[in-house]
Amino acid sequence: MTAKANLVVIGTGGTIAGQGKASVNTSSYLCSVLGIDEILGTIPEAAKLANLRAEQLLQTGSENFNNAHLLAIGRRVAELLARDDVDGVVVTHGTDTIEETAYFLHLTLKSAKPVVVVGSMRPPSAMSSDAALNLYDALAVAAHASSRGLGTLVVANNEIHTARDVVKGNSFKLDAFCSPYGALGVVIEGVPRYYRRPARAHTLDTPWSIDALDTLPKVDIVYAYGALDADTLDAITANARGLIYAGTGNGNVAGHLINPLRVAARRGVHVVRASRTGSGVVLHNGAQPDDEFGWLTVDDQAPQKARLLLTLALTQTSDREALQAAFERY
Ligand code: DGL
């Protein structure tokens, strides 16, 4: 029999740490009130999966997370992964921005040990809450040798997603998390079953290490809509080093915004065409002559993921070809 894995569970808040007045409160409740020890106390079965140690790093909704929160979580996870007596880390997290924290870890941690980020759509106090099972599944995934080398994973609703692809695609349903090409696998009764692996480079195969990151450059996102005007674009890009332009459809740019975005690019703002549709590829030099205009494209990255990738890429280069290459590689 192999020894049980040693896991550290880091609490950061969210619905998984929430509490409602009554069991019918599946959507109205207080977030980030239960401590990580209390949450783990609801699943004594987890002790059979792994030796567990818990620590409370943050206690706030993930809608509040900024770059400093990402750096703090990344540093702590990296410290733990570096220890010989830690085999994997689970981070409990609000679901709103779970995909962003997970992707940031996926790109900046330098370890093959499993890291799983997990949340829930209903608080532990709600009828048919997904909190206990999601956490149990996350621990099962982090404890299992087959999860090594896959980068950071997000576990929800019995599914195991790669941090690169997963997005929260619904505001209240239990199956809120989807990956455009499907989950990597599933978890059934405490055992992960994988059917695919991440194709794009991550963790050990990226040039970014959390240990070397101090401050992060400012990259913003603008969501395209019919009445978006040049003044708004100029205000958004005034202090930014990069702008993810979440255009309509295939990253289309309205005629009256082409020149303002070209001017922004000439001022040194890295303008990246993305799509507000939620999935699909934005083809480079497809809907717009990106190279002629000095723009970049995201490949298939969601705007919130593209922001993180550009942010990290800009810590090492301002070369447009190198930045574009990052979107094709990660
Ligand atoms: N406050 C939201 C967050 O922490 C709650 C959403 C959730 O955790 O499901 O992201």
Span 294-320, pLDDT tens digits: 999 999 999 999 999 999 999 999 999
What's the gap in Å between 241 CA and the centre of ligand 1?
29
Q: Are residues 67 and 178 in the same domain?
A: yes
pTM for this one?
0.98
Q: Are residues 253 and 229 in the same domain?
A: yes
Q: Are residues 236 and 145 in the same domain?
A: no
CATH classification at residue 24: 3.40.50.1170
Beta strand 152-156 pairing with 115-118 = parallel
- Domain span at residue 132 reads 5-205
Q: Are residues 177 and 244 in the same domain?
A: no
Q: Are residues 162 and 268 in the same domain?
A: no
Ligand 1 probe mutation, 12, 15, 33, most atoms within 8 A of CB? 15
Instruction: Kindly state whether residue 210 falls inside one of the protein's structural domains.
Output: no
What total number of domains does the chain contain?
2
Q: Are residues 225 and 198 in the same domain?
A: no
Q: Are residues 155 and 233 in the same domain?
A: no
Catalytic residues: 15, 95
Q: Is the pLDDT of residue 262 over 80?
A: yes
As given in the structure block, the two tokens for residue 101 are: 């924290």
**Predicted local confidence at residue 1, as pLDDT:** 52
Please give the Cα distance from 237 to 222 (Å, whole number): 9
User: CA 39: distance to chain centroid?
Assistant: 22
Ligand 1 probe mutation, 12, 27, 63, 173, most atoms within 8 A of CB? 63
Q: Are residues 86 and 188 in the same domain?
A: yes
Q: Which amino acid is at 7?
A: L
Choosing from 177, 205, 233, the residue where a domain stops is 205
**Predicted local confidence at residue 90, as pLDDT:** 99
What's the gap in Å between 297 CA and the centre of ligand 1?
30
- Comparing CA positions, the residue from 304, 329, 326, 330 lying closest to residue 316 is 326
**Predicted local confidence at residue 166, as pLDDT:** 98
Q: Are residues 173 and 40 in the same domain?
A: yes
Give the sign of the dihedral formed by CA 254, CA 260, CA 266, CA 271.
negative
Residue 131 vs residues 93, 103, 162: alpha-carbon distances, Å: 11, 21, 20
Q: Are residues 192 and 223 in the same domain?
A: no
Give the sign of the dihedral formed by CA 125, CA 130, CA 133, CA 139.
negative
Average of per-residue pLDDT values in the chain = 98
What's the gap in Å between 231 CA and the centre of ligand 1?
33
Q: Are residues 178 and 225 in the same domain?
A: no
CB 132 within 8 A of CB 118: no
Q: Are residues 117 and 239 in the same domain?
A: no
Pocket of ligand 1 (CB under 6 A): 13-15, 31, 61-63, 94-96, 119, 121
**Predicted local confidence at residue 103, as pLDDT:** 99
Report whether 205 belongs to an annotated binding site. no
User: CA 261: distance to chain centroid?
Assistant: 27
